[in-house]
């Protein structure tokens, strides 16, 4: 199909090629919401050395805190808020979410134990769960289909801004506070890392007020697929939460009179997941024995907690797909019937395991390997990673759109394939640099290539479903990506680091995941256009 034929096809289908009024304003605010989300989520990375020292925990526990504790509630609550985003006012949902997770971030500033800090991360996870489902659904109703690679590039750039900003703000605020009160007693006995959490929480409340000024666009108008009004979005959202939460889901199954075969399938999945998680906990305990973690009045084994959370999340995924099949057969057909969508979710999940595994320990790597201070690491690495993360997607996103118009069947997939296939090779060149200056030069090139994966992959993913299903699709992706990618990536790096005593090798080991990524992207390049064309037939 040529570019002109593709455009003609879009016009025939009733899709718009003009940005809706308020589209640029909405794009800026949703992008800033994404940036704030990553800032509050990632700030833990730069503060990790100080937190480890004050709370007496190791890399495995920090990986668990950074990934697993956050991931469980972020993933679980992304499902009901994703459903809510498909039926309620998305601007209100984003504003309320901003207030909730900003307050939870501030709670981290009052934490004096691992348990309270874990509670803070839990709250951040719940609050941030609405960011991607509501934000993506909202912005797609402002921007036409042929510009969405650019839109996702802006989102990716905003994520980079949040990542870099978290390092700069967290590192500078923490060290400035520590140095200022080095000779005396700090107010309320606050440590530098606690003060940094409080500073990071403040901008979210301001941004929430601006998000509330956005108009709510007509759902589906850009795609020529008007969506019916949902009469009971909250009821459906609460029902979904009850239907996927382990334990409560059996009550939900009984109320809707599920067949015995459905119960049997569910229980078999639970038994299989529990057995695998128990084996993994034993294996990891043998690789790196860790002291019990204090969680309030009880103590728990770190590895059992890790794999218990992962198993919980995987069981939620099983419950979600069973419930979707029973209650929304159309959504189940559209999602489960698209091999491209399933492979894209798998690719994003595997790539996130690499990215979050590396990101969680980048500051620790620089401080430990090159003996940099927290402030120097924050300013130098924070500015560099933010700059490359902003520039890269803005190059790759429009390029992916251009190649999509020239090669509708594979253009976007080829951009993602290049980024995810070449970046692992560049990571060895980067992380084995002999000095910080060489590292920064190499990292700039590595980061520029790496940033090319997200805009085209996300554009491919969301074009595989109907407009009314984008929120739940984002939630399904977030559940899988968060539990498996974010939940395992940082923990795996921390585990290998504790077991071997070599953080650099632990980080580089994650690149083995690139092998299945490349295979899946080759398959996506071959069939993404075919599956997108079959969307209406599946629906």
> Residue 214: is its pLDDT beyond 70?
yes
pLDDT tens for residues 395-447? 887 888 888 888 877 888 899 999 999 999 999 999 999 999 999 999 999 99
pLDDT band with cut points at 50, 70 and 90 for residue 471: confident
> Residue 14: is its pLDDT beyond 70?
no
Would you list the domain boundaries of the chain? 19-181+188-219+328-538, 234-327
Instruction: Answer for the pair 191, 178: CB distance below 8 angstroms, yes or no.
Output: yes
In this prediction, residue 430 carries a pLDDT of 96
Instruction: Answer for the pair 186, 173: CB distance below 8 angstroms, yes or no.
Output: no
CB neighbours of residue 254 within 10 Å: 10
In this prediction, residue 440 carries a pLDDT of 94
Instruction: Answer for the pair 142, 15: CB distance below 8 angstroms, yes or no.
Output: no
> Residue 276: is its pLDDT beyond 90?
yes
> Residue 13: is its pLDDT beyond 70?
no
Answer with the residue of higher pLDDT: 534 or 511: 511
- In the structure, how many helices (H) and strands (E) does the chain have? 25, 2
pLDDT tens for residues 479-502? 898 888 888 888 889 888 888 889
> Residue 5: is its pLDDT beyond 60?
no
pLDDT tens for residues 155-210? 878 888 888 888 888 888 888 888 888 766 777 778 888 899 999 999 999 999 99
In this prediction, residue 8 carries a pLDDT of 42
In this prediction, residue 9 carries a pLDDT of 42
- Of the candidates 271, 266, 270, 239, the one whose C-alpha atom is nearest the C-alpha of residue 255 is 239
Spell out the residues 6+ positions from residue 120 whose beta carbon is closer than 8 angstroms to its own. 104, 105, 107, 108, 111, 197
| Average pLDDT rounded to a whole number, residues 444-464 | 88
Answer with the residue of higher pLDDT: 61 or 52: 52
Give the Cα separation of 133 and 125 in Å (integer). 14
In this prediction, residue 424 carries a pLDDT of 95
> Residue 3: is its pLDDT beyond 50?
no
In this prediction, residue 233 carries a pLDDT of 83
How far from 520 is each of 49, 340, 344, 457, 523, CA to CA, in Å? 37, 9, 8, 12, 5
Q: What share of the chain is helix, strand, coil (3-state, %, to 5)?
A: 80, 0, 20
Instruction: Answer for the pair 83, 137: CB distance below 8 angstroms, yes or no.
Output: no
Instruction: List the Cα angle 422/71/341 in 5-degree steps.
Output: 55
> Residue 12: is its pLDDT beyond 80?
no
pLDDT band with cut points at 50, 70 and 90 for residue 294: low
In this prediction, residue 1 carries a pLDDT of 36
- Which residue in this structure is represented by tokens 């009045």? 297
CATH of domain 19-181+188-219+328-538: 1.20.1250.20
In this prediction, residue 428 carries a pLDDT of 96
Instruction: Answer for the pair 60, 495: CB distance below 8 angstroms, yes or no.
Output: yes
| Average pLDDT rounded to a whole number, residues 450-477 | 84
Q: How does DSSP assign 312-328, residue by residue?
A: HHHHHHHHHHHHHHHH-
pLDDT band with cut points at 50, 70 and 90 for residue 78: confident
pTM of this structure: 0.74
Q: Please give, one letter per residue, the 3-state secondary structure of 423-462.
A: HHHHHHHHHCCCCHHHHHHHHHHHHHHHCCCHHHHHHHHH
In this prediction, residue 512 carries a pLDDT of 94
Spell out the residues 6+ positions from residue 433 whose beta carbon is closer than 8 angstroms to its own. 439, 442
Specify which of 118-127, 224-233, 345-354, 464-473 reaches the highest per-range mean pLDDT. 345-354
Question: What stretches of 360-373 show up as alpha helix (H) in DSSP?
Answer: 362-370
Instruction: List the Cα angle 293/296/299 in 5-degree steps.
Output: 35
What share of the chain in percent tops pLDDT 70?
93
Question: What stretches of 256-301 show up as alpha helix (H) in DSSP?
Answer: 260-287
- Of the candidates 29, 38, 230, the one whose C-alpha atom is nearest the C-alpha of residue 135 is 29
> Residue 11: is its pLDDT beyond 60?
no
In this prediction, residue 225 carries a pLDDT of 66
Burial class of residue 193, CB neighbours in 10 A (0-12, 13-18, 19+): buried
Answer with the residue of higher pLDDT: 247 or 72: 247
293: helix, strand or coil? strand
Question: What stretches of 2-89 show up as alpha helix (H) in DSSP?
Answer: 3-12, 23-55, 59-63, 70-85
Q: Please give, one letter per residue, the 3-state secondary structure of 483-520.
A: HHHHHHHHHHHHHHHHHHCCHHHHHHHHHHHHHHHHHH
pLDDT tens for residues 235-248? 888 888 888 889 89
42: tokens are 């990632």
DSSP 185: P
What share of the chain in percent tops pLDDT 90?
28
In this prediction, residue 340 carries a pLDDT of 92
CB neighbours of residue 1 within 10 Å: 15
In this prediction, residue 295 carries a pLDDT of 61
- Partners of 298 in the beta sheet? 295
* pLDDT, averaged across the chain: 84
Answer with the residue of higher pLDDT: 523 or 530: 523
In this prediction, residue 388 carries a pLDDT of 86
pLDDT tens for residues 326-385? 888 888 888 988 999 999 999 999 999 999 888 888 888 998 899 988 778 878 888 888
> Residue 222: is its pLDDT beyond 80?
no
- Of the candidates 76, 59, 34, the one whose C-alpha atom is nearest the C-alpha of residue 390 is 34
126: tokens are 């719940």
N- to C-terminal Cα separation, the chain: 23
How far from 22 is each of 17, 228, 375, 379, CA to CA, in Å? 15, 23, 39, 35
Segment (H or E) for 206: helix 192-211
| Average pLDDT rounded to a whole number, residues 445-466 | 88
């Amino acid at each position: 199909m040529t570019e002109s034929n593709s455009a003609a096809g879009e016009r025939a289908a009733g899709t718009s090629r003009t940005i809706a009024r308020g589209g640029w304003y909405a794009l800026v605010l949703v992008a800033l919401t994404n940036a704030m989300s990553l800032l509050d989520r990632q700030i833990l990375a730069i503060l990790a050395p100080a937190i480890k020292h004050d709370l007496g925990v190791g890399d495995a526990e920090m990986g668990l805190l950074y990934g697993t504790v956050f991931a469980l509630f972020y993933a679980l609550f992304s499902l009901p808020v994703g459903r809510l985003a498909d039926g309620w006012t998305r601007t209100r949902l984003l504003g309320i979410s901003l207030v909730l997770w900003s307050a939870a971030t501030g709670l981290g500033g009052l934490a004096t134990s691992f348990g309270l800090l874990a509670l803070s991360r839990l709250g951040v996870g719940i609050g941030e769960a609405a960011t991607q489902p509501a934000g993506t659904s909202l912005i797609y109703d402002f921007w036409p289909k042929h510009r969405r690679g650019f839109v996702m590039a802006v989102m990716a750039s905003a994520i980079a801004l949040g990542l870099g900003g978290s390092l700069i703000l967290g590192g500078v605020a923490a060290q400035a506070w520590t140095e200022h009160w080095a000779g005396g007693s700090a107010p309320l006995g606050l440590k530098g890392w606690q003060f940094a959490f409080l500073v990071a929480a403040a901008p979210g409340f301001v941004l929430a007020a601006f998000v509330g000024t956005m108009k709510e666009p007509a759902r589906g108008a850009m795609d020529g697929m008007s969506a019916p009004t949902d009469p009971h979005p909250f009821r459906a959202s609460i029902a979904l939460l009850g239907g996927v939460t382990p334990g409560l889901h059996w009550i939900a199954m009984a109320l809707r009179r599920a067949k015995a075969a459905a119960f049997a399938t569910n229980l078999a999945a639970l038994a299989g997941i529990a057995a695998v998680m128990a084996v993994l906990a034993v294996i990891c305990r043998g690789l790196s024995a860790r002291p019990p973690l204090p969680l309030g009045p009880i103590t728990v084994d770190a590895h059992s907690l890790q794999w218990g959370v992962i198993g919980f999340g995987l069981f939620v995924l099983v419950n979600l797909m069973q419930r979707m099949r029973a209650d929304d057969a159309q959504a189940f057909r559209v999602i489960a019937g698209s091999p491209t969508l399933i492979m894209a979710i798998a690719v994003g999940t595997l790539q996130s395991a690499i990215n979050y595994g590396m990101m969680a320990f980048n500051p620790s790597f620089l401080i430990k390997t090159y003996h940099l201070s927290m402030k120097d690491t924050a300013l130098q690495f924070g500015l560099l990673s933010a700059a490359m993360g902003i520039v890269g997607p803005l190059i790759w996103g429009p390029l992916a759109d251009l190649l999509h118009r020239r090669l509708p069947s594979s253009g976007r997939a080829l951009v993602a394939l290049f980024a995810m296939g070449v970046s692992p090779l560049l990571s060895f060149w980067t992380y084995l640099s002999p000095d910080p200056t060489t590292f920064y030069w190499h990292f700039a090139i590595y980061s520029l290539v790496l940033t090319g994966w997200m805009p085209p992959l996300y554009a491919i993913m969301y074009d595989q479903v109907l407009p009314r299903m984008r929120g739940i699709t984002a939630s399904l992706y977030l559940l899988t990506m968060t539990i498996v990618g974010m939940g395992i990536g940082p923990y795996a790096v921390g585990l290998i680091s504790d077991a071997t005593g070599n953080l650099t090798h632990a980080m580089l080991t994650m690149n083995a995941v690139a092998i299945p990524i490349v295979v899946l992207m080759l398959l996506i390049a071959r069939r993404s256009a075919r599956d997108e064309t079959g969307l209406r037939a599946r629906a």
